[in-house]
Amino acid sequence: MSWIRRGDRGGIRSTMVRRRLFSAVTVLIGVVTVAFAVVHLIPGDPVQTMLGAGGAFVDPAQEAALRHELRLDGPLHEQYFAFLASAAQGDFGTSFQTGEPVTQMIAEAAPASLSLAGAALLLGALIGTGIAVLSRLTNSRLLASALAVLPVLAMSLPAYWVAALLLQFFSFRLGLVPALGGTGIRGLVLPALTMSLPTAGVVAQVLASGLRAAERESYVLMARAKGATRSRVVLRHMLRNTALPVITLTGTTVGSLLGAAVVTETIFGRPGLGRLIISALNAHDYPVIQGVAAVLGATMILISLLVDVLFTYLDPRVISTAVWR
Amino acid sequence: MTLLAVLQRRAGRPGRRTPPVTVVAAALILLAGLACVVAPGHLAPHPPDAVAPEAALLPPGLGHPLGTDELGRDLLSRVIHGSRLSLLVGAAATVLALLAGTAIGLVAGLFGGFIDSVLMRVVDVMLSFPALLLALGAISVLGSSPTRLAIAVGVSNVATFARLIRGEVLRVRGLAYVTAATVNGVRPAGLLLRYVVPNVWGPALALAVLGFGVAMLESSSLSFLGFGPRPPAADWGMLAAAGRDNLADAWWLSTFPGLAVAVTVLAATVIGRAVQDRRGMQ
Amino acid sequence: MAQDLTGGPGRRATPHPGRAARSSPHRHRSGAADPSHGTESGDPLTSGRKATASGPGSSERKMTPMRIRTLVLVTAATAILTGCTGKSESGGGDGATPRAGGTLTFATDTDPGCLDPHQSPAAAALLTGRGVVDSLVAQDPRTGDVVPWLAESWKTDERATTYTFTLRGDATFSDGAPVDGAAVKANLDRIVAPATKSLLAAGFLAGYAGTTVTADRTVEVRFSQPNAGFLQAATTAFLGIQSPGSFAAGPAATCRKIVGSGPFTVSDYVPQQRVTLARRTGYRWAPRTAAHQGDAFLEKVVLTIAPDNGVRSGSLRSRQVDAAGNVTPRDAVALGEAGFDVHRREQAGIAYSLFINGAKAPWTDAALRQAVAHAVDRAQVVKTLYQDQYARATSVLTPTTPGYRASETTTSAAEAKRLLDAAGWRAGSDGIRAKDGQRLTLRWTYVSPAREQRDLLAQLVQQQLRAVGVEVLLDPAPAGDVIRRQTTGDWQMGDISFLRADADVLRTVLQSSAGGRPPIVNDPTLAAALAEGAGTLDPEVRKTSYAQAQQRIAEQALAIPVYNPTYLLATGDQVRAATFDAQGLPQFYDTWLDH
């Protein structure tokens, strides 16, 4: 905005980032608290689950010893503050099931989830861009309306269903990709495709309307006047100018990606944070549930923080609203 | 798919209007769904729980249009009866999220200041969890039953509604004539009734219809993960999950229930978009 | 209710090292079971063996029945086993010469979570651990006999409080350390150490008083109270001997990698994904129960973790894996028809049975429970859900359990209705019976997520009971919830199956009131019969008293047996010698690939 001088803009930006950081920290504490609260509200008792499943007969002395061992015998508020203190140092305790440090378990599971989410984002962006560009380029009305529905469809399909169909067809019928052993690119294809669809839908829609809007921009008319082909105009000029907001917008789909990971990892039998939290929920493994929930929450906070900051660079108008807010 | 992502559709100007044919088709699908909810007994060819071991795992055919499951139960009948759970849970969750979210959004937007910051911090915390995960946590705490499923899914979407409604309230408050009214001493309650509600209900409605689709996806995912209603009743997510064991040789078992979810969500999204285009939010 | 130790995600292994069941590895080819194998499954009653079967070279061992009995209960470890199977036919049946080399990929259903059987009670830890750690003694899966392994001989005192093992002396751990007396002592001491947090193995060492290394190759294991089950327990990987050098890094480290003297080493464990075992060269101390001596044939075993039933069988079918463990019966049939080999092993212990809480009115009336027992159509259940791959239960104990006596309640809806009518329960307008305004209802609490399609079973039984006017409300709940309700006695109907090759399992599971919990079945006559059986090791007395007990259970419908749980292993035809160990889990040492 012309009425903000360059220097001012920088100052405002840093104020905004500071505020944003402060609120991120408060939110983070809230996230950790919610994780703690949820875990302790879940009915059923981890000690009885552990002992009962092993031998079916719970010896009261053994139970008390284990309860003490797991630090589940203190008053709730003490447990909470102890948890908060160690969580601040990145220590979420040790798993009830395996005795391993939760932080380590998360560190081991995270790469699988991250590569899956990353691959899904990339694939989604590619598919979405493909749909948007094609819908701009095509002369067929039928294809154009089909391409207009496609993104909505992609966002309406349940992940578990897509996964089941893909597995059935590509893995069991055609044997193209392995259903098991999710390492390597080949094992990543189906789960990433499953998870990419919502992102593809978002990208396709936003990009398509962006491209439509760009149709009347002067640089497009200019390029046309110079005799550039339609596909060249779309690919070289319009796409480049509409892509940036799309990239930041896909940030909003990361949350749904992490959610979908729970389902996708379960059905494809892939390791990862989603599978970790489901098995922890079933076993009442408090530290693991808390740790994974906190880490996922923190990731979301970080992403939204990055997106916000990035936006101030891409679209200076945001600064004014941010300050006002 | 989170609601927020569903709403991300345009950068800049509104997109092309949805063709009327599509809207009509979507409306028909939702009506069919409604019919299933109201009178499943009349539409289903068989009782949903009628076990017929001799007819187990029949592929789709004349007697059983969608095939049968391991116990020989008619899949079409189970899908029709399942609609009641699936659609009602989706609807109830949406209504819950809408009411709670709107209340929070209105209060935060109208009063501003400290109340606003506290409420928005809470909303931020809730938004920091993937919706499915939040619902998963809620259902773990509540235990599984259709009502609790609806509550869990509803809770996980409250924050989105609150955030968007608050934005609308702020937009309306910023309108010149509303500012004028405030200056003239119209009290918050009067402001709410006279200006804000009429301006906000359109976008809220669009949100609700879109949110219904999202809630359906979410609740069926939870059912799929094993947090659904009690058997033998089964919603679509549970039916799809039950078919997983026989994916290789009984494709119809999870295909059709999943398709039912997909088609319903698609229809809801199309309608929601149409509403959004007519009385949309900016 | 559902203590279920036989399988499923997060399942625990049997607290019972001595389970070994008749295994009848029918080889399904083109849908037809080879009839010649049917004869090989021994009749459990005639081939039932005495406890602590006398292994060779151990003439000194004497165990007085009276001494032993108390202990069997404590440790849940018994040695009564039944006979079993020819194994050659499941390995290809053609007597081909085994070929070394190759990688076996095996899809398993459960992530062990922790590989260390000292710590973990999971069956999955046994599946991975058996090839890596050797034990002091081995158990013959065919006969149940205890035979030498790391210990070449052993003797026991009269009171079963001191066991003296003489080690073979030439065995080494894969890290180079010798398997000597000090190593054995370090292992046993470690298992009982509180820091190990052993959930199951320590239970086998009840009354452990210490180990003395009397000579380099001789150790004396002492107990403060008789522990007759110890020898049996010592055959399992739960009490397997690991390299003491690996203990220093702490229990969490051995969860990730165990070091033993077995034919395989752990080369890689990626949680929730796979465990890779690599062949160790220079292995020269296989027990004589193994089909061969020397190195294992397989170069590598990759255990891929795939909890999804459809994914496991689909992967086998599309040849992405060589073998799939715990396949569903339907998959087993389909895979058999598609030319895969299917190996079955029926498990010993309590058959999958339904229980009605007799302490809750109106179910205190035995006639009502009887009606339910008559109404449950077991034949329909096993046919519909399990394609007759699991057998219909004919007693609360499975036929492979020593002491089994058939005591079947006939399936008859008419009889069920007659009993209910006689008791004054009349059908209302919706078909559900009622009396004095009270509906005849059973709330069935079972563990979810269920395995072996027990959720479907519940729905089928629900319909069967509905047909005679009994309403069943299904109440799936997480395991922790189910256990809590059971502890407080707050349940109406539940289900159990329990692995353990001894009829005494009836007493420990059904009659236990540990921790103030009301017993699952409260019946003085049954309690007397079970106490009599537990009070002796005289085979004849035991047989009679357990027969009485099973009779009583059937008469009073204290349990309603439904099916006999069975492990189903499917393999591609290149996999040879796919056999089960004495625990009923697939073993890999003798397995080889014929490409």
Does C82 have pLDDT greater than 60? no
pLDDT band at B247 (very low <50, low <70, confident <90, very high): confident
Which of A263, C386, C461, C1 has its CA nearest to residue B232?
C461
CB contacts, 8 Å: C517 with chain A: 57-58
pTM for the model stands at 0.76
Which of C325, A172, C457, A159 has its CA nearest to residue B247?
A172
Kindly report the backbone phi and psi dihedral angles of residue C351, in degrees, each rounded to the nearest multiple of 5, phi listed first. Answer: -65, 160
The DSSP code for A255 is: H
Mean pLDDT confidence for C277-294: 93
Q: How confident is the prediction for chain A on average, in pLDDT? A: 77
Residues A38-66: tens digit of each pLDDT: 888 877 667 766 665 444 445 566 667 66
Enumerate residues 6+ apart whose C-beta is below 8 A from A240: none
- In this prediction, residue C62 carries a pLDDT of 37
Segment among A298-312, B98-112, C453-467 with least mean pLDDT: A298-312
Mean pLDDT confidence for A249-274: 78
- Note whether C497 and C563 are within 8 A (CB): no
CB contacts, 8 Å: B122 with chain A: 30
- In this prediction, residue C28 carries a pLDDT of 36
pLDDT band at A177 (very low <50, low <70, confident <90, very high): confident
Contact between chains at A269 and C306 (C-beta distance less than 8 A): yes
Is C320 near chain B, with CB under 8 Å?
no
- In this prediction, residue C4 carries a pLDDT of 41
Is A262 near chain B, with CB under 8 Å?
yes
* Helix runs in C289-339, H state only: 309-317, 329-337
d(Cα C385, Cα C461) in Å, to the nearest integer?
11
Does C581 have pLDDT greater than 50? yes
* Helix runs in C433-478, H state only: 454-466
- In this prediction, residue A100 carries a pLDDT of 78
- In this prediction, residue C10 carries a pLDDT of 35
**What is the count of residue pairs from B and C with beta carbons less than 8 Å apart?**
67
**Which DSSP helix (H) or strand (E) runs through C471?**
strand C471-477
Residues C541-577: tens digit of each pLDDT: 778 999 999 999 999 999 999 999 888 999 998 999 9
Closest CA of chain C from A275, distance in Å: 8
Mean pLDDT confidence for C189-207: 76
Does B280 have pLDDT greater than 60? no
Does A290 have pLDDT greater than 90? no
d(Cα C381, Cα B51) in Å, to the nearest integer?
11
Letter string b/e over residues C85-121, b meaning 16 or more CB atoms within 10 A of that residue's CB:
bbbebbbbbeeeebeeebbbbbbbbbbbbbbbbbbbb
pLDDT band at C516 (very low <50, low <70, confident <90, very high): low
pLDDT band at A298 (very low <50, low <70, confident <90, very high): confident
Neighbours of B14 (CB within 10 A): 14
The chain A residue lying nearest B243, using CA atoms, is A164
Mean pLDDT confidence for C87-94: 39
- Note whether A167 and A173 are within 8 A (CB): no
Strands (E), C169-282: 208-215, 218-223, 264-270, 274-279
- Note whether A210 and A249 are within 8 A (CB): no
Enumerate residues 6+ apart whose C-beta is below 8 A from C305: A269, C108, C109, C110, C111, C272, C273, C274, C275
Per the listing, tokens 């035991």 go with C542
Does C60 have pLDDT greater than 60? no
- In this prediction, residue C46 carries a pLDDT of 29
CB contacts, 8 Å: B225 with chain A: 262-263, 266, 278
Closest CA of chain A from C77, distance in Å: 12
Q: In the numeric block, which tokens belong to residue C488? A: 């407080």
- In this prediction, residue C13 carries a pLDDT of 38
Does C211 have pLDDT greater than 50? yes
Does C594 have pLDDT greater than 70? yes
Mean pLDDT confidence for C228-243: 85
Is C359 near chain A, with CB under 8 Å?
no
Vertex B82, ends B76 and B86: CA angle to 5°?
Answer: 135
Is B246 near chain A, with CB under 8 Å?
no
Strands C264-270 vs C274-279: parallel, antiparallel or unpaired: antiparallel
CB contacts, 8 Å: C509 with chain A: 56
Q: Testing the interface with C: which of B245, B251, B252, B254 to mutate, by most C Cβ within 10 A? A: B245
Is A41 near chain B, with CB under 8 Å?
yes
Contact between chains at A246 and B11 (C-beta distance less than 8 A): yes
Does B8 have pLDDT greater than 60? no
The chain A residue lying nearest C1, using CA atoms, is A56
Does C496 have pLDDT greater than 90? no
Q: Which of C311, C334, C460 sits opposite B51 (nearest CB)?
A: C460
Closest CA of chain A from B132, distance in Å: 5
Contact between chains at A179 and C318 (C-beta distance less than 8 A): yes
- Note whether C136 and C185 are within 8 A (CB): no
Closest CA of chain C from A58, distance in Å: 6
Contact between chains at A255 and B4 (C-beta distance less than 8 A): yes
Segment among A87-91, C6-10, C350-354 with least mean pLDDT: C6-10
- Choose between C580 and C28: higher pLDDT: C580
Segment among B90-104, C73-87, C117-131 with least mean pLDDT: C73-87
Does C295 have pLDDT greater than 60? yes
Contact between chains at A27 and B131 (C-beta distance less than 8 A): no
- In this prediction, residue C207 carries a pLDDT of 77
- In this prediction, residue C45 carries a pLDDT of 29
Does C442 have pLDDT greater than 50? yes
Segment among B91-100, B235-244, B253-262, C50-59 with least mean pLDDT: C50-59
CB contacts, 8 Å: C453 with chain B: 70, 245
Closest CA of chain C from A130, distance in Å: 32
The DSSP code for C518 is: P
Mean pLDDT confidence for B89-114: 89
Q: Which of C76, C114, C320 sits opposite A178 (nearest CB)?
A: C320
Is C313 near chain B, with CB under 8 Å?
yes
C277 forms bridges with which residues in the sheet?
C266, C301
Does A126 have pLDDT greater than 50? yes
Contact between chains at C459 and B245 (C-beta distance less than 8 A): no
Does C323 have pLDDT greater than 60? yes
> CA-based diameter of chain A, in Å?
87
Does C78 have pLDDT greater than 60? no
Is B116 near chain C, with CB under 8 Å?
no
d(Cα C464, Cα C469) in Å, to the nearest integer?
9
Residues 285-304 of A with CB under 8 A from B: 293, 296-298, 300-301, 304
- Note whether C30 and A300 are within 8 A (CB): no
Segment among A159-163, C379-383, C443-447, C503-507 with least mean pLDDT: C503-507
- Choose between C348 and B272: higher pLDDT: B272
* Helix runs in C234-323, H state only: 251-256, 309-317
The chain C residue lying nearest B71, using CA atoms, is C384
Q: Tell me the percentage of chain C whose pLDDT exceeds 70.
A: 78
d(Cα C462, Cα B116) in Å, to the nearest integer?
53
The chain C residue lying nearest B55, using CA atoms, is C384
Contact between chains at B231 and C476 (C-beta distance less than 8 A): yes
Residues 476-495 of C with CB under 8 A from B: 476-477
Segment among A29-38, A159-168, C34-43, C496-505 with least mean pLDDT: C34-43
Contact between chains at C328 and B49 (C-beta distance less than 8 A): no
Q: Which of A152, A161, A266 sits opposite B254 (nearest CB)?
A: A161
pLDDT band at C296 (very low <50, low <70, confident <90, very high): very high
Q: How confident is the prediction for chain C on average, in pLDDT? A: 79
Residues B55-74: tens digit of each pLDDT: 888 889 888 989 898 888 99
pLDDT band at C513 (very low <50, low <70, confident <90, very high): low
- In this prediction, residue B279 carries a pLDDT of 59
Q: Which of B5, B9, B254 sits opposite A253 (nearest CB)?
A: B5
Segment among A22-26, A260-264, B231-235, C6-10 with least mean pLDDT: C6-10
Is C317 near chain A, with CB under 8 Å?
yes
Mean pLDDT confidence for C99-107: 93
CB contacts, 8 Å: A55 with chain C: 15, 76, 121, 199-200, 203
Which DSSP string corresponds to C54-117?
--TT-TT----HHHHHHHHHHHT-----------TGGGTSS-PPP----EEEEEES---SS--T
Mean pLDDT confidence for C483-506: 77
* Predicted-complex ipTM score: 0.81
Whether the link from the prior residue into B232 is cis, omega within 30° of 0, is: yes
Does C258 have pLDDT greater than 90? yes
d(Cα B41, Cα A155) in Å, to the nearest integer?
32
Segment among A3-7, B237-241, C300-304 with least mean pLDDT: A3-7
- In this prediction, residue A178 carries a pLDDT of 67
Residues 264-283 of A with CB under 8 A from B: 266-267, 277-278, 281
Closest CA of chain A from C573, distance in Å: 19
Is residue A324 packed enough to be buried (19+ CB in 10 Å), middle (13-18) or exposed (0-12)? exposed
Enumerate residues 6+ apart whose C-beta is below 8 A from B114: none
Is C93 near chain B, with CB under 8 Å?
no
Residues A204-223: tens digit of each pLDDT: 888 887 787 777 777 777 77
Contact between chains at B51 and C463 (C-beta distance less than 8 A): yes
Is C152 near chain B, with CB under 8 Å?
no
- In this prediction, residue C72 carries a pLDDT of 32
Is B62 near chain C, with CB under 8 Å?
no
Contact between chains at A259 and B132 (C-beta distance less than 8 A): yes
